Structure 1
Amino acid sequence: MPEQTREADVVVIGAGAVGENAAERTASGGLKTILVESELVGGECSYWACMPSKALLRPGTLLQAARSVQGAAQAVTGSLDTDAVLARRDSFTSNWDDSSQVKWVDGAGIELIRGTAALSGPREVTVTDDDGTQTRITARHAVVLATGSVPTVPRVDGLDAIDFWGTREATSAREVPESLLVLGGGVSGCELAQAYARLGTDVTLVARGDLLAKFPEPARRLVEAGLRRDGVRIRLRTASSRADAYDGGVTLTLTAAGADGETGTADTVTGAKLLVSSGRHPALSGLGLEGLGLDPKHLGVDASGRVPGVDGGWLYAVGDAAGKAQLTHQGKYQARTTGEAIAARAAGELDGDPEPWSRYASTADDAAVPSVVFTDPEVAFVGLTEAQARERGLSISTTELPIAVAGSSLYADGYQGWAQMVVDEERKVIVGMTLAGPGVGELLHAATIAVVGEVPLDRLWHAVPSYPTISEVWLRLLEKYGL
């Protein structure tokens, strides 16, 4: 097998959005950086996750927004144009062509190598291309794992014999199926169930537990109501015990799922397609981590992204590969801090662990992670839930109320929304915020700034929300809190 040898300062494995950010930071810090990718440069978010899924969702959300305002509702006489929706989706993926991303990599002074990478020794990466040619790269300073995550497939009898969709197939589909079974009530399951229902598909969603289980109950119920309004049939606390193919579709055998296992009489649901959306886990197998004495199931990193237990401290992981929040924006944030830390260590400007809240530490991973569920209504969340805050031993209070302000009534007739503020009573700062309702995703960054900045409530009182906007819910929350 042909072999080549190379040297670089930094090797980044994985050219998704997270890997691109890490490589850009090390390259801009003056380090010779090689970026390795086996698929499309730009990764999951660009071609199969964030961008195409939101492109599928947006037209339906916009149509519903128009139908929610008298005067506009009368002007809406048709349904979504499926072909146009799919064509617009394709434009956001550049038709699954990564040439523009490759051009960006080149312009950033980063070298791209195509192939499958594995760690073959200390500071050493071996890349095998499609022709079997191997390139062995020695990294003088760091190797960064930015390999993302892969779907977790549940144990369901017969599923391995079914040609089912994962989220990749659902977001890149060329046609809209007549009917769809969605297995999983997490973020992707809810978003894609609604997207396809609004494109005319008959959708049934099956969840072993509740929808969006990490979010507060009122937010979950608003999303459930939105899905049901769009015709999605929802089976909660229901186990899928078997999957069978039949001529033209899939049958799932279902039973009620109780705390002590499956109970009740089995029944079945059928669909032309089955989408399995039951979570993801870090893509770390086949990377050679075992050869370094590391467990790929429990990798772990410090605040600068460095993997502990590696002599010389040269191995880093960012994004989904690091086992933290599986969110593109959070992974890019980690990549920026990690890239900066690697460059600083190489230049002798950083010795040991970085200071909290420095540019070399992804401190927000601990208690200030923002996320948005792009269903209609949306759910926007940052920080700690009530339960998480109590588990950390914080003395907290919660303030919650419906979103019913002048701005929300103007936004949509019959607007339904909900907000919750979690306050650390010892410090008198917000540690968590949940917003649910149409359009609330655009309110989230204000909450994120309040949490990250630890803005005292008596100071936040002077941040006057514009009238009439939905952001006036901030005033109502602070008033109910007692300010």
Structure 2
Amino acid sequence: MDFDVIVIGGGPVGENVAARTAAGGLSTAMVEKELVGGECSYWACMPSKALLRSGHALAAARRVQGVTGGSLDPQQVLARRTGFTSNWDDSGQVQWAESADIHVLRGEGEVTGEREVTVGGEVHRARQAVVVCTGSVPKMPPLDGIADARVWTSREATSAREVPDSLIVLGGGVVGVEMAQAWARLGSKVTLVVSGDRPLPRMEEFVGPLVAEGLREDGVEVLLNARASAVAPGALTLEDGRVVRGSEILVATGRVPATKDSKPLTVDDTGLVSDVDGRWLYAAGDVTGRALLTHQGKYQARAVGSAILAQVRGEEPEPWSAGQSNADHVAVPQVVFTDPEVAFVGHTAEEARKAGRDVKVVDLDIAVAGSSLHADGYKGKTRMVVDERTRTLVGVTFVGQDVAELLHAATIAIVGEVPVDRLWHAVPAYPTISEVWLRLLESYGL
């Protein structure tokens, strides 16, 4: 069959590309080999946050004087999680796709020629564009015995039907810390094995220790500077000879693009794949390696869809138009849904300095009237990184209970290049945690 656009991958990224081109009047097919809705809907963002939310709500309630008692019902938490995945049934997502005039092709899609995609032995051609949105897959470390050991990846960690008696989590990234806390709060004895001196090492240096402190308060044993050398069923051997035992082992050591060679597809800001003649092959999401985050992939997808529609009209998208994903370079927001939460956007102070910027760093504890009301003994920290030449923000980090909702203001300030002198006039409501913005700007010197 021929279509105007063929999208390979039916996760959130592929859905957004397909929805945009279909809404623009182009006949669009979307290829999916597993569940329409993809990793985020069934094995990542949604189920993982559902597993975390109940424990966070209980912990938040206990931090306010006058609240006593309360406990988690693990089976009810798991049932709520399963509700968010529709019990791993994608019929609702398929119905949505069909209602949006997207033709769903079941099977593994492969680009087999110019504007040509083969699915289950059938060749389909795209008159305008092929878009690769195949996402990413877990990266397995080269440990002795790992090929034969029955280990969890993020999929098993978010879809398990029972709480394991004990769990070893290998890896101190986002998946590692989130799943360590989720299962610890549901009653598992968790050990987190981190190869470096802190979890979340790519974030500001104060982030990891604060998250590790929160994990320890929930009973997680956090092993730092602990490198694994071998895996066996129920046991992880470290380079120093120690053996960590657990009924399940979650390997959370990163992800790689879901391509044949695990290498990303290099794209420009419209999503056009480099070194392919004819302006017909696009890509978006994790497969590009630009920002392995669902929201950023969906942002790229909207740009790709808009760029394809512009190309059909004979137009070229301008920078910072809907057809270019320029924010990938300056303001990628991310939340780590642990307790305390981590909300970060832009560049760390170290990254900004390495890029040659003259920066001023403002560090503060989150201690305002709003935080005091929010939780007794509220603990949190924030950092603002300012480019002194332009007097604009280039990076902001918050760590603390429920700080995720502060992040979009920071994202807007960075994307909009709002000068700190103007930002001073964005008055935060009292008494909210957002009042920390006023304290940051006062500390900066305004």
Shift of 1:276: 0.5
Alignment of 1:15-54 (within 5 A): 15-54=10-49
Counterparts of 1:109 and 1:373, CA distance in 2: 35
Counterparts of 2:230 and 2:314, CA distance in 1: 58
- 1:234-263 C-alpha deviation (Å, 9 max, x unpaired): 111111111122xxxx111113xxxxxxxx
Q: Residue in 2 aligned with 1:284?
A: 259
Shift of 1:298: 4.4
Q: Residue in 2 aligned with 1:302?
A: 268
Equivalent residue for 2:117, pick from 125, 129, 133: 125
Counterparts of 1:311 and 1:216, CA distance in 2: 41
Counterparts of 1:415 and 1:222, CA distance in 2: 13
Alignment of 1:374-389 (within 5 A): 374-389=337-352
Counterparts of 2:70 and 2:422, CA distance in 1: 49
Q: Residue in 2 aligned with 1:108?
A: 100
- 1:347-406 C-alpha deviation (Å, 9 max, x unpaired): 2132xxx32211110000001000000000000000111111112111111111100001
Counterparts of 2:292 and 2:250, CA distance in 1: 20
1:268 aligns with 2:243: yes
1:221 aligns with 2:209: yes
- 1:193-229 C-alpha deviation (Å, 9 max, x unpaired): 0000000000000011120011112222111110000
Distance change >3 Å, CA 273–CA 71, structure 1 → 2: same
Equivalent residue for 2:296, pick from 325, 330, 335: 330
Equivalent residue for 1:396, pick from 359, 375, 381: 359
Counterparts of 1:420 and 1:142, CA distance in 2: 43
Counterparts of 2:284 and 2:110, CA distance in 1: 16
Paired residues of 2:165 and 2:188 also in contact (CA < 8 A): yes
1:149 aligns with 2:136: yes
Counterparts of 1:297 and 1:280, CA distance in 2: 11
Q: Residue in 1 aligned with 2:65?
A: 70
Q: Residue in 1 aligned with 2:445?
A: 482
Shift of 1:428: 0.5
Shift of 1:81: 0.1
- Matched position secondary structure for 1:25: helix
Paired residues of 2:256 and 2:262 also in contact (CA < 8 A): no
Counterparts of 2:28 and 2:237, CA distance in 1: 51
2:291 maps to a residue whose letter is: A
Between the two proteins, the alignment pairs up a number of residues equal to 445
Counterparts of 2:333 and 2:382, CA distance in 1: 15
Counterparts of 1:381 and 1:57, CA distance in 2: 19
Equivalent residue for 1:81, pick from 73, 77, 81: 73
Counterparts of 1:383 and 1:434, CA distance in 2: 9
1:446 aligns with 2:421: no
Equivalent residue for 2:175, pick from 181, 185, 188: 188
Counterparts of 2:319 and 2:334, CA distance in 1: 22
Q: Residue in 2 aligned with 1:3?
A: none
1:282 maps to a residue whose letter is: P
TM-score (norm 1): 0.91
Q: Residue in 1 aligned with 2:220?
A: 232
- 1:446-479 C-alpha deviation (Å, 9 max, x unpaired): 0000000111111100011011100000000000
2:150 maps to a residue whose letter is: D
Q: Residue in 2 aligned with 1:165?
A: 152
Counterparts of 2:37 and 2:130, CA distance in 1: 19
- 1:293-320 C-alpha deviation (Å, 9 max, x unpaired): xx76242100000001111011011000
Q: Residue in 1 aligned with 2:284?
A: 318
Q: Residue in 1 aligned with 2:5?
A: 10
Counterparts of 1:29 and 1:423, CA distance in 2: 40
1:96 maps to a residue whose letter is: W
Counterparts of 1:165 and 1:403, CA distance in 2: 37
Counterparts of 2:357 and 2:23, CA distance in 1: 41
Q: Please, which runs of 5 or more residues in structure 1 have no aligned partner?
A: 1-5, 129-133, 256-264, 286-294
Q: Residue in 2 aligned with 1:288?
A: none
The percentage of aligned residue pairs carrying the same residue is 61
Q: Residue in 1 aligned with 2:420?
A: 457
Paired residues of 2:264 and 2:287 also in contact (CA < 8 A): no
Counterparts of 1:97 and 1:233, CA distance in 2: 36
Equivalent residue for 2:238, pick from 254, 268, 271: 254
Question: Over aligned residue pairs, what C-alpha RMSD do you find?
Answer: 0.9
Shift of 1:149: 0.3
Q: Residue in 1 aligned with 2:311?
A: 345
- Matched position secondary structure for 1:147: coil
Shift of 1:120: 0.9
1:362 aligns with 2:354: no
Counterparts of 1:399 and 1:349, CA distance in 2: 44
Q: Residue in 2 aligned with 1:260?
A: none
Q: Please, which runs of 5 or more residues in structure 2 have no aligned partner?
A: none
Counterparts of 2:245 and 2:220, CA distance in 1: 14
Shift of 1:170: 0.7
Counterparts of 2:218 and 2:249, CA distance in 1: 19
- 1:393-423 C-alpha deviation (Å, 9 max, x unpaired): 1111111110000111111111110000000
Counterparts of 1:147 and 1:302, CA distance in 2: 17
